[in-house]
Chains A and B, each alone.
Chain A
Amino acid sequence: MSIISINNLTKDYKTTRALKGVSLEIEQGKLFGLLGVNGAGKTTLIKILCGLTKKTSGTITVNGLNLDSDINSIKQIIDVSPQETAVATNLTVLENLEFFANIYNSCDKEYLNNIINTFGLSGVLNQTAKTLSGGYKRRLSIAIALISKPKILFLDEPTLGLDVFARRELWKIIENLKGKITIILTSHYLEEIENLCDEVAILSKGEVLKTGTVEDIKAQTNTQTFEDAFIKVVKDYE
């Protein structure tokens, strides 16, 4: 069953058309990857789904709710870790977590401790966010996004700018979340998509060129590696 249905979505910024008729079905409980090079329109799509940017045309339903009329109900069941880490820089890790917990009136201490453990944050709880390394900032950002116990979690470029170790660590954490909630993850790293995602949509210049599992896409393009498949899909289209 689809938890997100996107039908013929377009988005025009002042000078560019960032999304050109995108249609997607995302199944409940899946880790869905949006793969595309910089400027493909991934962030724009996420922002529209979170109600942070207005779409130009098209219809979207999230969990059976219409995005245009029910955005406030949708906001209750989604959360996002934006491309920019977007945490309160002068607050400590713990203060950040508690601040966001208060927004959702969730005083579930056990759940909070659970998150702290899952993300390995117990050692940095009293450190201000601005002093954290890139990897820990990302962890905090994703941890924050989970506090509201969302049904749907958006991760926009979760490992952008991280070193390989921090990336692998984060992959493990994301791997752990799989199956529990629906996750939509964007990335321009092929190996990230290949390692984590149940299903992939390849986005290029505002259009969805292909959807399916990594294996499907490799088979359809008759290629050995996902990288070759990706290049073939994008090149063929051009």
Chain B
Amino acid sequence: MNKTINFAKRNFKELLRDPLMYVFCLGFPIAMLFLFFFINKYSGGNTPTFEVKSLTPGIIVFSYSFIMLTLALIVSKDRQTFFLKRLYSSPMKDYDFILGYAIVGFIIGILQTIICLLTAFIIALISKVEFIALPNVLLLFVTNLPILILNICLGILFGTAFNDKSAPGICSIFISLSGILGGCWMPLETMGGFETFCKFLPFYPSVYLGRITSGATNALKVLYKFDGYAVVAITTIFVYMIASVILTIFTFKKNMVSDK
């Protein structure tokens, strides 16, 4: 465990000294929250999807995809500079590496969630609307855990499987998918067949569960509640999460001793 923590510390320092991290993991979520707040405000203020309670869970889920990018960048760079290979000739084990990256992704994820919530709280104050109740705020951290773990795994996976030139490209596809198919700013519930499709990808179920937790209303002015779909959503996101964990461990073990 000492080796894991030691490696996590190094990864954390490495990321904290990278300006890109702040742009992606802090700048983007804050900017998005304000952007949609202003769009809503100056377009008459009657887009339910852009209301604080609805928008916040969406942006939190979306912002986790930047953690995927950040991790993919550091892992692929560590491979490219041979740093990982060198560590691999030390007595560090596979789980030290994977957990060492994952812990850092997890910490950044929690910080990011806090920052999103604080920003949303300020927006709620400014626009004089009710904010998410405190117990539900805390519950949001739990609801978001599976999608956070999924993004962490995908980040490590892409960093392991692709080089530092192609990993960002692959990640940006996923970031776009997460934004569009998560229904973060698009009212998927009005889109029939497309919504059904999104329901079986990992993003929308996470946003849906987040909105149940925050007590949001959807575009059809119906309150999100723990309905039959919520059960399907939990199942769906767990299947993706477990699959990503297994795939990541497998790919990492395989690639570390390959000729690549």
Within 8 A of B (CB), among A74-118: 75-76, 78-80, 82-91, 95, 99-100, 102-105
Cβ-defined contact, A76 with B2, below 8 A = no
Query: How many Å lie between the Cα of A103 and that of B92 in the bound state?
Result: 7
Q: How large is the interface on A (under 10, 10 to 19, 20 to 34, 35 or more residues)?
A: 20 to 34
Q: Which of B82-90, B179-187, B215-223 contacts A (4 or more CB under 8 A)?
A: B82-90
CB contacts (< 8 Å) of A105 on chain B: these are 2
Query: How many Å lie between the Cα of A78 and that of B3 in the bound state?
Result: 18
Cβ-defined contact, B81 with A89, below 8 A = yes
CB contacts (< 8 Å) of A1 on chain B: these are none
Cβ-defined contact, B3 with A103, below 8 A = yes
Q: Which of B13-21, B23-31, B59-67, B158-166 contacts A (4 or more CB under 8 A)?
A: B13-21
Interface assignment of A50: CB less than 8 Å from any CB of chain B:
yes
Interface assignment of B257: CB less than 8 Å from any CB of chain A:
yes
Query: How many Å lie between the Cα of A4 and that of B99 in the bound state?
Result: 34
Interface assignment of A57: CB less than 8 Å from any CB of chain B:
no
CB contacts (< 8 Å) of A100 on chain B: these are 90
Cβ-defined contact, B14 with A86, below 8 A = no
Query: How many Å lie between the Cα of A65 and that of B244 in the bound state?
Result: 37
CB distance from B18 to the nearest CB of A (A): 7
Query: How many Å lie between the Cα of A80 and that of B82 in the bound state?
Result: 11
What is the chain B residue whose CB lies nearest that of A96?
B10
Cβ-defined contact, A84 with B81, below 8 A = yes
Cβ-defined contact, B86 with A148, below 8 A = no
The residue that A86 contacts in the complex, of B13, B83, B91, with Cβ under 8 A, is B83
A78 touching B92 in the complex, CB below 8 Å, given contacts A53-B257, A86-B82, A99-B6: no
The residue that B14 contacts in the complex, of A75, A82, A83, A90, with Cβ under 8 A, is A90
CB distance from B231 to the nearest CB of A (A): 44
CB distance from B5 to the nearest CB of A (A): 9
Interface assignment of A235: CB less than 8 Å from any CB of chain B:
no
The residue that A78 contacts in the complex, of B82, B83, B89, with Cβ under 8 A, is B89
Per-residue interface assignment for chain B, residues 72 to 104, with 1 indicating a CB less than 8 Å from any chain A CB and 0 otherwise: 000000000111011111111000000000000
Cβ-defined contact, A103 with B259, below 8 A = no
The residue that A88 contacts in the complex, of B83, B90, B257, with Cβ under 8 A, is B83
Query: How many Å lie between the Cα of A153 and that of B73 in the bound state?
Result: 30
What is the chain A residue whose CB lies nearest that of B85?
A52
The residue that B89 contacts in the complex, of A13, A54, A75, A89, with Cβ under 8 A, is A75
Cβ-defined contact, A90 with B90, below 8 A = no
CB distance from B99 to the nearest CB of A (A): 14
Cβ-defined contact, B90 with A51, below 8 A = no
CB contacts (< 8 Å) of B81 on chain A: these are 84-86, 89
Per-residue interface assignment for chain A, residues 40 to 53, with 1 indicating a CB less than 8 Å from any chain B CB and 0 otherwise: 00000001001111
Per-residue interface assignment for chain B, residues 235 to 260, with 1 indicating a CB less than 8 Å from any chain A CB and 0 otherwise: 00000000000000000000001010
Cβ-defined contact, A87 with B91, below 8 A = no
CB contacts (< 8 Å) of A84 on chain B: these are 81-82
Interface assignment of A69: CB less than 8 Å from any CB of chain B:
no
Cβ-defined contact, B2 with A52, below 8 A = no
Interface assignment of A23: CB less than 8 Å from any CB of chain B:
no
CB distance from A56 to the nearest CB of B (A): 11
Cβ-defined contact, B89 with A14, below 8 A = no
Chain A interfacial positions (CB closer than 8 Å to B): 13-14, 47, 50-54, 72, 75-76, 78-80, 82-91, 95, 99-100, 102-105, 128, 148
